[in-house]
Structure 1
Amino acid sequence: MPVAIAGMHRAGTSLIAQMLAMCGLDLGPAEQHLPPQADNPEGFFEHRAFVDLNERLLAKLGGIWREPPQTSPGWENDPALDELLAEAQSLPAQYGLSEPWGWKDPRNSLTMPLWRRAWPDLHVVVCVRHPLETAYSLLERDHLPIDVGLSLWTKYFRQVVSDVPAECRTVVHYGAFFERPEDEIRRLLGRLGLEVGQEQLAAACGCVSKKMRHSRLGDAALRVLGADAELIDLYTTLCVEAGFDSTIDSESLSGEAALQDAIARLQRSLDVCVRKSWRLLDQEREVLAREAKLDQMEAMIAGQRAYIDEREQYIGDLQRHLAVLGTRVADLEERLSARRHRYADAVANAAQRVIKPFRR
């Protein structure tokens, strides 16, 4: 049974993928994965080929990860997608993945119908994280406004819940792995039919670092900030399916405290964005200065080209004048040659007349 790890960007999919890989799920060798980055130093655990196919599929559907496409039911049956379907079915054998195998990509949430058509027995692990925590992280990494991040969160999870039946999915909450990592990974492994020893389990739980999670937000923060009712209902439903209590905030935050915590987080994120904006402004000034210098160089080059064109025209005039002179010289040489012949004939005739009397 293949396993697809889905969810939303910045929602904990990398952590879940790392833990499952340590418990025996074949995600392919590390050299086939996207490289770690500053925002995800442990790695993304995303196979390049699967991500590339998802990106091309989204492009065919008219979207990208931050602008999900508008699709109609049954879009996966479009004959125009048959080539991508065949490619999807060939990936495991092409890259030597062995049972149990899977792949991780948050874009799976938007493209699951095609993957489920490729493998009808596909099981989907849906990784959920508090919408505000996800939106804060997207703001810091991608400079997406909070409302855009929350809207994307809703679109991703609405889509994957709609496209994958409950019996074909397991919903896990990012926060649960910090509160009860062993119990949560056991629950997930049980749903996937994976058996591991205690050492593997302990190693997987060791992936969880308290530094990765700074506080626990619940429904109160969403309600205080006036989040969309659909988002709150969807998050509550997913938390119930994951067995995670969404009503508890860290340190028993009250509504006012939740708001203050959210504002503080937002302020930190905005501070980061402001610093990045100043850096971008500095870079923009540098670019403008270089563009001005480039304009000066282009003007200089244009002047040189004009001078060269003028010289080339002058040379062309000289060449034409030389050609005329050459023609004249050739004509004069021809005339001179003719005169020389006449002169030679005249001299020869005169000599004959002088010599002729003496021959008698």
Structure 2
Amino acid sequence: MNDTKTAICVLGMHRSGTSSITKGIHEIGAYIGAYSTLVPPDGDNPRGFWEHQKIVNLHDEALQGMGLNWATATHVSESWLNEASARHVRDQLRDVVMQEFAEQDLWVWKDPRTCLFVPMWQSILTSLNITTKYVIVIRNPLDVAQSLLRRNGFSRQKSFALWLNYTLSSLRTTHGETRVVVEYDDYMKDWESSLQQIASALNMTWPKDNDALQARMKAFINPALQHSRSNPDEAIQTIEMSLVRELYGLCRKAIQDPGLLQDDEFIATIDRMDREYKFMFAMFSSHLDGFTMECSYHGTQNGKAQVQGPIDDEFHEYIIEMPSAVGNQVSIFPTTFPGMFEISELAIQERSTDGTYDEVYTLTPAKLAQLPSTALSMRFPDGGLKFLNLSGQAQFNIPYSFTERGDYALRVVMKVYRQDHPVYVNVVRQALPVYDAQVRRGTSA
């Protein structure tokens, strides 16, 4: 195999138009494989996916081996590449390339899952002396979310998480490579200009028979199949998740000014966003409407009691019953997943003979802020207690000794922030340097 072999890798989130753009790249000269090897069209993509079936299957096999699927908001760890399962998938993908594409001077493949496996593909193609160039396809995140809602019933929160994971992975792993960013909406409005932009950036030769190309593309492009079309400028203003809004805006700038892709500031910004996303991904990917709070106490049962609550940025009162409590320790596990929560009131109550509860111990807001905790806590001027729960295992203890056996209850007034709340986002950014320091020391979960 000589140095003239080139592969074009099309990256982009599911439902972002990668199929249509890959077909366009094929039409201007890149081999896509025998049609019999491609995923057949269906109701979701009546004009075809333009994906190699074996590649899709192997990507799915790799994800399943990690307990994941295509709808993962979890980064694929690069350390996975050293595992036996990864080597098996890598060898199988290498065989596909050798059997299907080895004799082609220029070929293209796409599967959105590739976004999660770029380092593996880079090692494969480098070993075969194949130059790889990248087309990163961006679609308005609102439209991606709307499409996934129709097809899969995904919440907007989950779709935004997937969009972030796929887009950040694509941009981070292609630093320093030949690449171009295009937007699906632009392609649907003027496919020829978008393909010319791709051809110019990747040094592709434009077909000599432009009339034949025009006829084929006009027969293929069907704007009626683009069901969701939001205004990009409005989207940047209305997307409630700030990291999504920021990344989409940055991608649009890179489309207008391709030189930004090689700019040190652009690369540093993507790295910073990627670290923020890794820091928050468990909250993003939980897709929860509610949470569980646990209370551990010493008593005849020496057990745990639980209550459930909503994630809605509102304060709610929770009563956790502790029958037959005794001893000198009450431990609270406020949330069972990484996130941001705030406690404004906390008290221990004892059941009276008439069945009602009387407060026997109350923590003032000032004392709340002094409670020792296994979470990363931050003090705020309103006197309440806000916690950024890094690992989902936050715990703090209430310094109260039960003087006699009885039936007690813990009263907590608390709210849990959605990950798109401005307070949550700001606290995460303040905490990120602390978290990075913990990672470097090897003390972070």
Shift of 1:87: 1.9
Query: Which of the pair is proportionally richer in strand?
Result: 2
Letter in 1 for 2:252: C
Shift of 1:208: 2.7
Counterpart check, 1:21 vs 2:33: no
Kept in 2: contact 1:58–1:69 (CA 8 A): no
Larger RCO: 1 or 2 (CA < 8 Å, sep 6+): 1
Q: Distance in 2 between matches of 1:31 and 1:169?
A: 29
Counterpart check, 1:172 vs 2:182: yes
Partner of 1:138: 148
Letter in 1 for 2:132: L
Partner of 1:202: 214
Partner of 1:100: 106
Kept in 1: contact 2:76–2:117 (CA 8 A): no
Shift of 1:101: 1.1
Q: Distance in 2 between matches of 1:58 and 1:118?
A: 18
> Which ranges in structure 2 are unaligned for 5 or more consecutive residues?
1-5, 258-445
Q: Distance in 2 between matches of 1:200 and 1:166?
A: 35
Structure 2 CA distance for partners of 1:73 and 1:241, relative to 1, 3 Å: same
Shift >4 Å, 4+ stretches: none
Q: Distance in 2 between matches of 1:11 and 1:68?
A: 16
Partner of 2:121: 115
Q: Distance in 1 between matches of 2:119 and 2:83?
A: 11
Counterpart check, 1:52 vs 2:66: no
Q: Secondary structure in 1 aligned to 2:137?
A: strand
Structure 2 CA distance for partners of 1:204 and 1:104, relative to 1, 3 Å: farther
Letter in 2 for 1:72: S
Structure 2 CA distance for partners of 1:153 and 1:96, relative to 1, 3 Å: closer
Give the number of aligned pairs.
244
> Which ranges in structure 1 are unaligned for 5 or more consecutive residues?
245-360
Partner of 1:39: 44
Kept in 2: contact 1:58–1:111 (CA 8 A): no
Letter in 2 for 1:194: M
Per-residue CA distance 1:124-149 (angstroms, 9 max, x = gap): 21111000001100111111112211
- Report matched runs for 1:278-357 at 5 Å: none
Shift of 1:201: 3.9
Select 1:91's aligned residue among 91, 96, 105: 96
Using structure 2 for the length normalisation, give the TM-score. Answer: 0.51
Kept in 1: contact 2:179–2:202 (CA 8 A): no
Q: Secondary structure in 1 aligned to 2:106?
A: coil
Kept in 2: contact 1:126–1:171 (CA 8 A): yes
Kept in 2: contact 1:173–1:242 (CA 8 A): yes
Q: Distance in 1 between matches of 2:194 and 2:76?
A: 34
CA RMSD, 1 decimal: 2.2
Partner of 1:161: 171
Kept in 1: contact 2:51–2:111 (CA 8 A): yes
Partner of 2:231: 217
Kept in 2: contact 1:17–1:45 (CA 8 A): yes
Using structure 1 for the length normalisation, give the TM-score. Answer: 0.63
Q: Distance in 2 between matches of 1:188 and 1:204?
A: 18
Q: Distance in 2 between matches of 1:106 and 1:80?
A: 21
Q: Distance in 2 between matches of 1:110 and 1:16?
A: 19
Shift of 1:243: 2.2
Shift of 1:151: 1.3
Shift of 1:118: 0.8
Instruction: Tell me the percent identity.
Output: 26
Letter in 1 for 2:118: M
Q: Distance in 2 between matches of 1:169 and 1:60?
A: 30
Kept in 1: contact 2:76–2:116 (CA 8 A): no
Q: Secondary structure in 1 aligned to 2:180?
A: strand
Query: Which of the pair is proportionally richer in helix?
Result: 1
Letter in 2 for 1:115: W
Please say which structure displays the higher CA radius of gyration.
1
Q: Distance in 2 between matches of 1:116 and 1:204?
A: 32
The farther-off stretch of 171-180 and 41-50 is: 171-180
Q: Secondary structure in 2 aligned to 1:144?
A: coil
Shift of 1:111: 1.0
Q: Secondary structure in 2 aligned to 1:175?
A: helix
Q: Secondary structure in 1 aligned to 2:11?
A: strand
Select 2:244's aligned residue among 214, 222, 231: 231
Shift of 1:175: 1.0
Q: Distance in 2 between matches of 1:137 and 1:80?
A: 33
